[in-house]
Structure 1
Amino acid sequence: MSRTSSPEFKIAESLEAFPSALKGGIVAIGNFDGVHRGHRAVLDAALGLGHGTHHPVFAMSFEPHPRTVFNPSKPVFRLTPAVQKTDMLRVCGLDGALILPFTKEFAAMEANAFVQDILIDTLEISHAVTGYDFHFGRARQGTPDYLRTAGATHGFGVTIVHREEDESAEVISSSRIRENLGTGDIAEANALLGYRWFFDAEVQHGDKRGRDLGYPTANLRMPEDCPLLQGIYAVKVKLGDTWHDGVASYGRRPTFDNGAALFEVFLFDFEGDLYGKTLRVHVVSYLRGEEKFDSAEALVAQMDRDSEEARAALASLQPLSEIDLKLLDLAP
């Protein structure tokens, strides 16, 4: 007998709003920032346990990032903020997600209270799946071994997933991916994610200089803590339900004003008004670093070369995984 998937992905942002349709389910627990290949090993284990049963499979995650709560002066850049994370969990095939507010009070909860009050009394779980490094409760007293013992005591199953390594036997982590973005190693970041890293942003009004150069761009503001290396990128952009190829410059425009950093996207073969629209930008490849040119003419000549290189990169694009194929609507 096959597991019956929920007809609609369910999202709850508090225990009080937890839907009854997910009760008794298999829960994958973790922060899941990036929903990278290591995280998906946890999610896949949960989905595998749900196969052949009628148990719903859902994720439990937390917002904001715990490190940001404990050290607010140094917030953690989010590879996938809450909306993007739930989108990824949906694409992975889960039935829903419980995104709990992470506060210092929540972190101070005793491990046994987390198990009894949340996992048993509220969620009524049948099985818990976590990564090898997941800890919970005050002073991180809830270790994987603690969870196994609690499951045996209270009658729910527990699966601990070992660390996921890349082809070089290095552990896959969100921190590594952030470092790769910071060095412009988009190929490595995307390989660890298993899909092309993306972000959502609303198109802002700019100085419209690109229009005068023959390259009208959509200006996007990035978070101040975005570590992405400034430079030129090949991108795929989703506007509504439509996809566009493009080339983007992330930086301060040193040839002109050297102002605040902007992510400026030029969509190939596109005409229309983008102001106020939200774009989902998938960063496909890094082309070169940001440069200062002696003249606008020299800049345009380089932009022509960048566009050709971006078109070539996008024309040969192959999916990194089934998830990447779904996200980019690529032909199999």
Structure 2
Amino acid sequence: MKTIHYKSSDYAKQSELAICLGFFDGLHIAHQTLMNKTIEEGRKRGLKTAMLTFSDHILSFLKKEPFSFITSLKDKILAARKLGFDYFYVLDVSEKLVQMEPIDFIDRFLKNQAVVIVGFDFTFGNRGKGNASFLKEQNSFETIVIEEMDFEDEKIGTTRIRQCTKGGNMEEVAALMGKPYTIKGKVVPGKNRGKAMGFPTANIKNTGYLAPKQGVYISTVKIGKRQYNGISNVGKNPTFGDNQETIEVYVMDFDGHLYGQHIELSFLHYIRPEIKFSSVEELIEKMKEDEIVSRNYFEERNNL
């Protein structure tokens, strides 16, 4: 697969592609349906396939606010490569791009394509005036629209996943995404309190992921090619009066050094909120209880 980063001014598109468009944050099961449909249409018609996405979230760019993502650009690229796409285009979000009229967007990026696949709620162009219906009116390519998909009578979408993540409902997040919510990052030095308490933790550098609701979670941790069970904490460690939010994980049944390594932390189940304990001893006792809860969770899951 060829990955190409473009500024809107230097975009040089391939013609006659089966191409899907979107921001694809979360890569939820509706996104997966759209991507699979693109591959299917490409194979059926004998066409090369492509994904076109954006370097930043349009609204965040307009508001000049940093965007906390669910899925990194790197993981979007990996997902496209795994499915067998031929091209992955990344459009640089700029003032010129967000102010572009829908018809100009089509002329610049989509004209002479064979088939364009989008979700029913996809919008593009100045003020989001372009949409799926506008695409279907064009006669220079065919448009296929993936209609709304529901889970438990509610629309599957990135907004719902973000709300569930910030609410600590990780089971629903996993159902919507088809896999647990995962943060990937480098292990960085912490304050070594966990080790002193008998629960050594790995602190993960958050490079822009949406952090789940603050609290304690049952988790899995992928280190290299091996997966371990663990207990993670998202928050500010109120017992110690810290001010900066951290993401850390106690990897159960692991004995080794993790500083500098890249790990994958998946959040499976919210156990409890962070608590400000009156003593370190109380905190240790609660952590022992959390470990029992976590081990019981994995034992029950293994027995299913």
Length-normalised TM-score, structure 2: 0.89
Q: Distance in 1 between matches of 2:231 and 2:91?
A: 37
Cα deviation for residue 93 of structure 1 reads: 4.7
Partner residue, 1:55: 47
Cα deviation for residue 62 of structure 1 reads: 0.6
Partner residue, 1:309: 293
Q: Check conservation: 1:62, 1:102, Cα contact below 8 A.
A: yes
Asked if 1:165 is matched to 2:150, the reply is yes
Are the structure 2 counterparts of residues 77 and 130 from structure 1 closer, same or farther at C-alpha, using a change threshold of 3 Å?
Answer: same
Partner residue, 1:5: none
1:238 partner SS: strand
Asked if 1:148 is matched to 2:148, the reply is no
Cα deviation for residue 101 of structure 1 reads: 0.9
Q: Check conservation: 2:56, 2:67, Cα contact below 8 A.
A: no
Q: Check conservation: 1:232, 1:290, Cα contact below 8 A.
A: yes
1:101-112 aligned within 5 A = 101-112=92-103
1:177-196 aligned within 5 A = 177-196=161-180
1:283 partner SS: strand
Per-residue displacement from partner, 1:235-282 (whole Å, max 9, x unpaired)?
122223332221111111122233311111111221222112221211
Partner residue, 2:106: 115
Q: Check conservation: 2:117, 2:146, Cα contact below 8 A.
A: yes
Asked if 1:222 is matched to 2:214, the reply is no
1:263 partner SS: strand
Are the structure 2 counterparts of residues 97 and 312 from structure 1 closer, same or farther at C-alpha, using a change threshold of 3 Å?
Answer: farther
Are the structure 2 counterparts of residues 236 and 53 from structure 1 closer, same or farther at C-alpha, using a change threshold of 3 Å?
Answer: farther
Q: Check conservation: 1:12, 1:19, Cα contact below 8 A.
A: no
Q: Check conservation: 2:68, 2:208, Cα contact below 8 A.
A: no
Aligned residues: percent identity?
26
Moved more, 183-192 or 92-101: 92-101
Are the structure 2 counterparts of residues 92 and 195 from structure 1 closer, same or farther at C-alpha, using a change threshold of 3 Å?
Answer: farther
Q: Distance in 2 between matches of 1:143 and 1:92?
A: 26
Q: Distance in 1 between matches of 2:12 and 2:251?
A: 41
Q: Distance in 1 between matches of 2:211 and 2:248?
A: 16
More strand by share: 2
Cα deviation for residue 54 of structure 1 reads: 3.0
1:59 partner SS: strand
Q: Select the residue among 15, 19, 35 that pairs with 2:27.
A: 35
CA RMSD after TM alignment:
2.4
Structure 1 residue identity aligned to 2:113? I
Q: Distance in 2 between matches of 1:128 and 1:110?
A: 18
Structure 1 residue identity aligned to 2:149? E
Q: Distance in 2 between matches of 1:88 and 1:133?
A: 22
Runs of at least 5 residues in structure 1 that lack an aligned partner in the other structure? 1-8, 319-332
Partner residue, 2:88: 97
Q: Check conservation: 2:61, 2:93, Cα contact below 8 A.
A: yes
Asked if 1:46 is matched to 2:38, the reply is yes
1:255 partner SS: helix
Per-residue displacement from partner, 1:10-67 (whole Å, max 9, x unpaired)?
32212758796xx532111111111112222322322232343432322111121001
Q: Distance in 2 between matches of 1:240 and 1:213?
A: 26
Cα deviation for residue 223 of structure 1 reads: 5.9
2:150 partner SS: coil
Runs of at least 5 residues in structure 2 that lack an aligned partner in the other structure? none
